[in-house]
Structure 1
Amino acid sequence: MKTLPRLLAACIAAALPMPALAAQTYALVVGVDHYPNDVSLDGAVQDAEDVYRSMNEAGFKAIKFTNEEARKDDIRKAWTDMVTEAAPGDTIIFTYAGHGAQMPELIPGDEADGLDEFLQLPGFDRNRYEETSKEIIVDNEMNAWFAEAEGKGVHVLFVSDSCFSGGMSRSIKGKTRLAPAVKVKLAPPSQEAISGANLKEADFKQVTVLAASLESQPTPEVIIDGQPRGALSWSFARAVEGSADRNGDGLITRIELEDYVFSNVKNRSEALQVPNFTPQVARSESEVVVTLTRGIPVKAEEGAAANTDAGRTVKTAKELGWTGTIALQIDGTAERPQHADGAGTPFRWDVASGVFYTPNGDVAAENVGPDRIQAVVDKFVLLDFLKAMASQNPGSVSLTPAKDIYAAGDRLRFDAPPGRYPNMLVFNLANTGEVQFLDMQAAGTNSSEFKLTDVEVVKPFGADHLITISTAEPVDAIGSVLADRNVTAETLLQALATRLDGKEASVAIQPLYTRETL
């Protein structure tokens, strides 16, 4: 499609000299779980509530529609009212969490793949299209909406946590935000669906779209903090809270948003998704997509860590929601390990087969007996701690070729570029629960990119997690712990909590899921 390749989006805003002079930001938030005529979802409304809360706290003028409230006429009126009220230089952010779907193109020759994409609202019934067609929002219609804002000099950020095509090779028990395609060619649901077809991506200079995943991928609901969620919505809510504002100036640039969202969607989806921006490249290095009208930095909350970088408050893992436990369902008879009495959607351990499953339904480890279960549990407790740290300061690493799962014999390359801090630790949390020390670079040494080249996938199979931590804090003591060949995840967690919790540190996480054959 043209402007909405996967109907997920982010927006643009003009660079302003000071947050105190920031233009107004408006927010239109839509989330749908309940689909009377289709498979319902579990986490889209929670996504909308989370995003709406973060936008209110940021000082945006926000309106929210969830479930049966999400009627096209009401959403369209809210958009029109925002465009009417907004002044040139203001921003409208439109977020959507729910089903997306495809249909034969409404205007012949309009789409390269012959398909239009649409957002599916609760009132739509594909078996009664003529009666319910006004309860979808087609990509062409959204082009027309965006053109109204751009014609007035208003910037648009569209963030849509849905999907339209793609398949996955990982075993996921959660739902995907993909409704069945409409197979037959239908009449356009509105005049806007016709006029919007004439608008091309190049016509928009003040619209940015952030998609939840690439066209070849689905958008699954994943478990975050024990609950079904959309990884993009969760990450965007944290970004708006200020976590994406690296320099604390109250403005989130396109580059800052990219760096933050790409890393955290990968972390929270366990590498099932790669977000997609349109346009693919920022229009300028200083292009602003979100203006935090209340301004950042904010005053530290009572009891919050006082350490800051560029005016940002650094919170501890517990302040970010880490509990030090995971939820675990044990199928069979076995003693419950420590730190496995948490709440929410559980991990699952099949005692008889020895298979340990993630809350998403992935195989995380094989051959897990009573002698190994504590190590595996402790690994995921530590991983949750690292994900909490990454949520406020994510780093960047890469695994090539990029896949959601790898088979025995596949060869890989892992790259961890130097961060903006002088010290770096690199280690692997293996699917066995073992901690494998890979590298340490400390201040005073020649900092360089860490690379693992031509790595072959071999047994045991499951989920490994390659970790890099960059910081200005001393890392020699942590490196000493890592260098112990018998170090456990629990011991490493204690060292990291003592030395880095609440301190400025960048964490990058690269999930690596493997199996014997695909």
Structure 2
Amino acid sequence: MIRTLPRLLALSLAIALPGPALAAQTYALVVGADKYPNDVSLDGAVRDAEDVYRAMSAAGFTVVKFTDAEARKDVIRKAWTDMVATAAAGDTIIFTYAGHGAQMPELVAGDEADGLDEFLQLPGFDRNRYEETSNEIIVDNEMNAWFAEAEGKGVHVLFVSDSCFSGGMSRSVTGKSRLAPAVKVKLAPPSQEAIDGASFKEIDFKQVTVLAASLESQPTPEVIIDGEPRGALSWSFARAVEGSADRDGNGLITRIELEDYIFSNVKNRSEALQVPNFMPQVARSESEVVVTLTRGLPAGTASDTAAADRIVKPAGELGWTGKIALRIDGDAARPDRADGAGTPFRWDVASGVFYTPNGDVAAENVGPDRIQAVVDKFVLLDFLKAVASQNPGSVSLTPVKDIYAAGTRLRFDAPPGRYPNMLVFNLANTGEVQFLDMQAAGSGASQFKLTDVEVVKPFGADHLVTIWTAEPVDAIGAVLADPNVTAAALLQALTTRLDGKAASVAIQPLYTRETL
């Protein structure tokens, strides 16, 4: 739980620049692997690939997909070669990968600052039979050579890697990590490209963008989304391609639009376990386009409405059911709204610990008198995540960690949004709703800051929520201002007034424990 002291400061608005004048063709190569005969298999990578494939097919892209045993290096390489041969200058190739990543001693001496090459591990690779199966890894040098082929033709490349190569976490999460064991001994290069590609550096590319699931210092865990194991990056990228990242509705997703969308939704869906990593780290320009949702149409014709007027789907059409799945270990009555489907939350009645589907400790000292409030909090949180998936906002918590110890002091920032009204509140690990701020149109809306947030008992998972909307918020504010407000009452107010309406939501998870 947190103790807060708010501060308010003003924030200037940014100016968006227009995109290029003409859209082009987009080709996509989708790879996902769950079944690794020679390593730990995964649970959600094929589901990721199927989701991304559906989204990109619906967007009109020319898509090729390989999953599990189909994901062989020779067929992937041929598909890439064919796409580069077909694409013309100005077109885009998107390559998405969901599966294991790993590291090995660098193949070219002095090529890597850390002395390690990264590689995508395909299902056919067996580190105990490297010579026979080395053709079933794709080393980073090889990928650089592939990217150079496309860039040489003036073709843009976006590589989305939902895997990991190193890192560890402080939180105890039960989902599988997409990190395969490192190869410890120096081995022969799997191809001549693995040598030649060392001459191409990511900083030298002018039309290549890489989006990795997490920083190199972090793991990439599989997390539970809509009751199923998934990769948070793949899930978010699929929603982006469906159009949610296209904020101005012009059929073009700029690098900045994609950044804003991906960072927020990966945080929401991974419960702040990972931070995506873009390369280059800074957009080449404010108007740089990385995904084109139209096929050869003039830019700006993809939508006849402004972003604020786009159709907003109710949460129920986005997978929200108004209930969660809950496993009860012990003798206790089942609370309301806890009979949902999918990977369940878990309540240990004897210890009073309430766990998320990912295995995190969400709340302590949860007895029969408190369990309904905790369940209602996560039902409400799922609703807010559904709304955020269409139009996420951006907030920050510093310092950035995956878990915080008692006594830690933090800073929370929520800037003004695109809509004139703002609500800020905390959903505590107890299920308690803590009202922090409301700013209405004409009231001189400013940046909301909590400059002295202290981690105190009880420990678990708090969620700081900010909502921006053009809808009236006075009635919702009145509900929040009630010192006895419940998550169920707040959910009713939000669904009545904001479900299916234009609103932006940011969620900042805050996991705490007494000591690290």
TM-score bracket, normalised by the shorter chain, equals over 0.9
**Which residue does the alignment assign to 1:411?**
409
**Which residue does the alignment assign to 1:402?**
400
**Which residue does the alignment assign to 2:421?**
423
| Structure-1 separation of matches of 2:385 and 2:308 | 22
| Structure-1 separation of matches of 2:179 and 2:232 | 15
The alpha-carbon deviation at position 324 of structure 1 amounts to 0.2
Q: Residues 94-120 of structure 1: CA distance to partner in whole angstroms, max 9, x if unpaired?
A: 000000000000000000000000000
Q: Which has the higher contact order (CA 8 A, sep 6+)?
A: 2
Which amino acid letter does the alignment assign opposite residue 16 of structure 1? P
Are the aligned partners of 1:297 and 1:311 in contact in 2 as well (CA < 8 Å)?
no
| Structure-2 separation of matches of 1:311 and 1:472 | 11
**Which residue does the alignment assign to 1:5?**
none
- CA distance change for structure 1 residues 484 and 421 in 2, over 3 Å: closer, same or farther? same
**Which residue does the alignment assign to 2:20?**
16
Which amino acid letter does the alignment assign opposite residue 255 of structure 1? I
**Which residue does the alignment assign to 1:79?**
80
| Structure-2 separation of matches of 1:52 and 1:252 | 18
Give the 3-state SS of the residue equivalent to 2:332 in structure 1. coil
Give the 3-state SS of the residue equivalent to 2:317 in structure 1. coil
Are the aligned partners of 1:99 and 1:179 in contact in 2 as well (CA < 8 Å)?
yes
**Which residue does the alignment assign to 1:105?**
106
Give the 3-state SS of the residue equivalent to 1:313 in structure 2. coil
Aligned counterpart in structure 2 of residue 445 of structure 1, from 414, 428, 443 = 443
The alpha-carbon deviation at position 382 of structure 1 amounts to 0.1
Q: What does residue range 105-254 of structure 1 map to in structure 2 within 5 Å?
A: 105-254=106-255
**Which residue does the alignment assign to 1:9?**
none
- CA distance change for structure 1 residues 316 and 299 in 2, over 3 Å: closer, same or farther? farther
The alpha-carbon deviation at position 125 of structure 1 amounts to 0.3
Which amino acid letter does the alignment assign opposite residue 210 of structure 2? V
Q: What does residue range 366-385 of structure 1 map to in structure 2 within 5 Å?
A: 366-385=364-383
Are the aligned partners of 1:308 and 1:504 in contact in 2 as well (CA < 8 Å)?
no
| Structure-2 separation of matches of 1:90 and 1:426 | 42
Aligned counterpart in structure 1 of residue 385 of structure 2, from 387, 395, 406 = 387
Are the aligned partners of 2:143 and 2:197 in contact in 1 as well (CA < 8 Å)?
yes
- CA distance change for structure 1 residues 339 and 326 in 2, over 3 Å: closer, same or farther? same
Are the aligned partners of 1:354 and 1:368 in contact in 2 as well (CA < 8 Å)?
yes
Moved over 4 A (4+): 294-300
| Structure-2 separation of matches of 1:458 and 1:312 | 42
**Which residue does the alignment assign to 1:303?**
none
- CA distance change for structure 1 residues 494 and 297 in 2, over 3 Å: closer, same or farther? farther
**Which residue does the alignment assign to 1:304?**
none
| Structure-1 separation of matches of 2:511 and 2:209 | 32
**Which residue does the alignment assign to 1:493?**
491
Q: Note if 1:259 corresponds to 2:257.
A: no
The alpha-carbon deviation at position 186 of structure 1 amounts to 0.4
Q: Note if 1:361 corresponds to 2:359.
A: yes
The alpha-carbon deviation at position 310 of structure 1 amounts to 4.5
**Which residue does the alignment assign to 1:6?**
none
Are the aligned partners of 1:298 and 1:313 in contact in 2 as well (CA < 8 Å)?
no
| Structure-2 separation of matches of 1:381 and 1:308 | 31
| Structure-2 separation of matches of 1:415 and 1:139 | 37
| Structure-1 separation of matches of 2:224 and 2:499 | 24
Q: Residues 153-196 of structure 1: CA distance to partner in whole angstroms, max 9, x if unpaired?
A: 10000000000000000010000000000000001100100010
Unaligned 5+ residue runs, structure 1?
1-13, 301-306
Are the aligned partners of 1:248 and 1:311 in contact in 2 as well (CA < 8 Å)?
no
- CA distance change for structure 1 residues 274 and 297 in 2, over 3 Å: closer, same or farther? farther
| Structure-1 separation of matches of 2:191 and 2:164 | 23
Aligned counterpart in structure 1 of residue 312 of structure 2, from 311, 314, 318 = 314
Q: Residues 210-245 of structure 1: CA distance to partner in whole angstroms, max 9, x if unpaired?
A: 111111110000000000000000000000000000
Which amino acid letter does the alignment assign opposite residue 485 of structure 1? P
Unaligned 5+ residue runs, structure 2?
1-17
Give the 3-state SS of the residue equivalent to 1:318 in structure 2. helix
- Which is further off, 80-89 or 447-456? 447-456
Q: Residues 264-299 of structure 1: CA distance to partner in whole angstroms, max 9, x if unpaired?
A: 000000000100100000000000000002688889
Which amino acid letter does the alignment assign opposite residue 412 of structure 2? F
Task: Tell me how many residue pairs correspond in the alignment.
Answer: 496
**Which residue does the alignment assign to 1:514?**
512
Give the 3-state SS of the residue equivalent to 1:499 in structure 2. helix
**Which residue does the alignment assign to 1:8?**
none
Q: Residues 126-158 of structure 1: CA distance to partner in whole angstroms, max 9, x if unpaired?
A: 000000000000000000000000000100000
Q: Residues 443-485 of structure 1: CA distance to partner in whole angstroms, max 9, x if unpaired?
A: 1111111111122111000000000000111100000000000
- CA distance change for structure 1 residues 423 and 310 in 2, over 3 Å: closer, same or farther? closer
Which amino acid letter does the alignment assign opposite residue 174 of structure 2? K
| Structure-1 separation of matches of 2:408 and 2:168 | 20
RMSD: 1.4
- CA distance change for structure 1 residues 433 and 172 in 2, over 3 Å: closer, same or farther? same
| Structure-1 separation of matches of 2:319 and 2:247 | 21
Q: Note if 1:40 corresponds to 2:41.
A: yes
**Which residue does the alignment assign to 1:285?**
286
TM-score by length of 1: 0.94
| Structure-2 separation of matches of 1:237 and 1:386 | 19
The alpha-carbon deviation at position 16 of structure 1 amounts to 3.4
Are the aligned partners of 1:221 and 1:229 in contact in 2 as well (CA < 8 Å)?
yes
| Structure-2 separation of matches of 1:339 and 1:505 | 25
Q: Note if 1:332 corresponds to 2:336.
A: no
Are the aligned partners of 1:297 and 1:313 in contact in 2 as well (CA < 8 Å)?
no
Which amino acid letter does the alignment assign opposite residue 366 of structure 1? E
Q: Residues 342-374 of structure 1: CA distance to partner in whole angstroms, max 9, x if unpaired?
A: 000000000011000000000000000000000
| Structure-2 separation of matches of 1:229 and 1:217 | 17
- Percentage of pairs with the same residue: 86
Are the aligned partners of 2:144 and 2:202 in contact in 1 as well (CA < 8 Å)?
no
